[in-house]
Amino acid sequence: MGHEFSGIIEEVGEGVTQFSPGQRAVVRPTIYDETCAACTQGSRHCCKNIGFIGLSGYGGGMAEYIVAPASHYYLLPDNISFEDASLVEPLAVAWHAVKRAPFKSGNNVLVLGAGPIGIGAVQVLKLKGANNIIVVELLQNRKDLARQYGATHTLDPKETDIPKAVNDLTGGRGVEIVFDTAGVEIALNGIIDATQVQGTIVNIAVWEERPATDVNDLMYREINYMGATLYDEASFKEVIENLHTGKLKPHAMISTKIKLQDAVEKGFKKLIESRDSYCKILVDPQSA
């Protein structure tokens, strides 16, 4: 288990020359079949049979040691902590989504949800020059974290008419781009009227239920609805580079750090009982 992790290389296999024992690395967990249409067309992150180290094979980050193909390893500059490196994967999801979108510096944007991907999106959008970054989120602790990372406005959907508030904040135009990290039907239907004519809604969420949406609302306003799944290798590398230069500083996303032996009581149970109270719980398999 564990697909977001980093560590120290202990041994390398025969024929591996690009890495040496003692080097620090982060692991890209995505596994591709290399034969499906997506893979052969150069979009391996859309692989029909996508898998993950930590979920599908090779062990995972919640073990003292793992073995995986060398192609999954990326060296870490010395100024990137192992803790921050464990956040490369979710940050790469957000980075890729912003790259996929027709985003331009100065755009007004709306982010639905301030979980790890939403907070990552706020960081990337701030870095790339967004104007208004409006975040829709229920929980105060997540709204506070979004503000810390550059959100200009945070709105509670239970207390606020979201389309009206967004249009008021954008001079009646609406936002150019929405990033949906929530995957909730009522939220999706509520933000169509907050989107500018010929604007774009980018879905990053994995939906638990199939939504019912009036596509005529999209058609009459010529709104583009697009998906952004996972990340390509370029996005993964670009996140590492921006951590290295200090342009991304994700450490505040780590809500708490626990030992491996406490993973059940202080990790899984906490997430089951009060998942929304945390952004990321970091497990250290090497701690005694």
pLDDT at 48: 97
Sheet strand arrangement including 133-136? 153-155, 133-136, 109-112, 175-180, 195-203, 224-227
What is residue 7's three-state secondary structure?
strand
Query: In which band, very low, low, confident or very high, does the pLDDT at 287 lie, cut at 50, 70 and 90?
Result: low
Secondary structure in 3-state letters for 208-271: CCCCCCCHHHHHHCCCEEEECCCCCHHHHHHHHHHHHCCCCCCHHHEEEEEEHHHHHHHHHHHH
Q: Residues 236-280: pLDDT tens digits?
A: 999 999 999 999 999 988 877 767 666 677 767 776 776 666 677
CB 171 within 8 A of CB 188: no
pLDDT at 262: 63
Pairwise CA distance, residues 203 & 205, whole Å:
6
Q: Residues 167-210: pLDDT tens digits?
A: 999 999 999 999 999 999 888 888 999 999 999 999 999 999 89
CB 24 within 8 A of CB 78: yes
pTM of the model: 0.92
pLDDT at 263: 66
Q: Residues 125-173: pLDDT tens digits?
A: 999 999 999 999 999 999 999 999 999 999 999 999 999 999 999 999 9
pLDDT at 282: 74
Q: CA end-to-end span of the chain, whole Å?
A: 19
Q: Higher pLDDT residue, 285 or 8?
A: 8
Q: Which domains are seen in the chain, by residue range?
A: 102-227 (3.40.50.720)
The 8-class DSSP code of residue 277 comes to G
pLDDT at 108: 98
pLDDT at 53: 92
pLDDT at 288 over 60: no
pLDDT at 260: 66
Pairwise CA distance, residues 167 & 10, whole Å:
55
Q: Which residues pair with 281 in a beta bridge?
A: 256
The continuous run of DSSP H or E covering 190 comes out as helix 185-191
Pairing relationship of beta strands 175-180 and 109-112 according to DSSP bridges: parallel
Q: Residues 28-84: pLDDT tens digits?
A: 999 999 999 999 999 999 999 999 998 887 877 777 888 999 999 999 999 999 999
pLDDT at 279: 75
pLDDT at 267: 64
